[in-house]
Amino acid sequence: MSYSHADVGHALARATKSLTGSRMSVSRPTNPMELANTQFELLAYGVSYRTTVCKHVLNRLTNTHELWVTPQYFSQSTARHVGYFRAGFMKAHGQDNIFTTPAASSPGSYISRDDKLFANYHIEQVNAALPDVDKPRLREATRRGTLAACLNRADLAIRNMSKGIALDRIDADTLYDLQGTMHFIEMLQATDDIDEVRTAVKAHIALNNPKNI
């Protein structure tokens, strides 16, 4: 029997059995404790072609089901497959516990979404993007678009490492860094004068990167 993409998407949400359709499938782990930590249990993972793109995880602390979705883009067809996995999960469990995280496709499945390595990566990406706000000959809308993208990245990182996570698992220093970064960007967004925004960004870069002074 050939299963439709929608059937496979719903199968990931149910996480009761493996199912193979056309170019996408759902697999159950041979070891239900594959995530190897005390808070998360991997129930099933969604595959597009031969690539794991989603994981259905049980959060033991909150007793809620979560869908972890890879942020990596592969192709339009794989993006559609991810859409079916998301739609199936949302129908069964709602959308509040869908997380975009590299842990969705991490090899070995031993890394969880709250790993501080992911959060630190987001901080690095924000710091790498902020200089674009002060580039010459750019429209104000482009500069503010960069700020919005940076804020979204910081917000995503904070959500992934803190929502429904046991307090003793959260790396406080990394969380404080993220919160400080987020508050700085919010301050920039609230500043009407784009020249003041550029000056603040330039000062921020000099403060955090002395070699750039």
User: Both 38 and 83 in a single domain?
Assistant: yes
Based on the fold, state whether residues 180 and 196 are members of the same structural domain.
yes
Residue 82 belongs to domain spanning: 5-109
Q: What is the pTM of this model?
A: 0.90
How many other β-carbons are positioned within 10 Å of the β-carbon of residue 95? 10
Residue 209, pLDDT > 70, answer no
pLDDT digits (tens, 9 = 90+) for 24-60: 999 988 765 555 566 898 899 999 998 999 999 999 9
Starting at the edge strand found earlier in the chain, the sheet holding 51-59 runs 19-20, 24-27, 40-48, 51-59, 64-69, 98-100
Last residue in a domain, options 88, 109, 130: 109
Q: Based on the domain organization, do 39 and 129 belong to the same domain? A: no
Q: Which residue has the tokens 């925004």?
A: 197
Q: What is the pLDDT of residues 170-197, one digit of tens each?
A: 999 999 999 999 999 999 999 999 999 9
In angstroms, the CA 58 to CA 66 distance is 6
How many domains is the chain partitioned into structurally? 2
Tokens of 65: 């089901």
Same domain, yes or no: 105 and 162: no
Q: CA 101 from chain center: how many Å? A: 3
The answer on 170 and 101 residing in a single domain is: no
Q: Do 123 and 104 share a structural domain? A: no
Give pLDDT tens digits for 113-154.
999 999 999 999 999 999 999 999 999 999 999 999 999 999
In angstroms, the CA 87 to CA 81 distance is: 10
Q: Is the pLDDT of residue 213 over 50?
A: no
- Domain co-membership, 149 together with 71: no
Give me 107's structure tokens.
């090899």
User: 10 with 102, same domain?
Assistant: yes
Per-residue pLDDT reduced to its tens digit, 56-97: 999 999 999 999 999 988 899 999 999 999 999 999 999 999
137 and 51 inside one domain: no
Residue 98 to residues 39, 82, 196, Cα–Cα distance (Å): 17, 12, 37
Nearest CA to 96 out of 165, 11, 163, 7 is that of 163
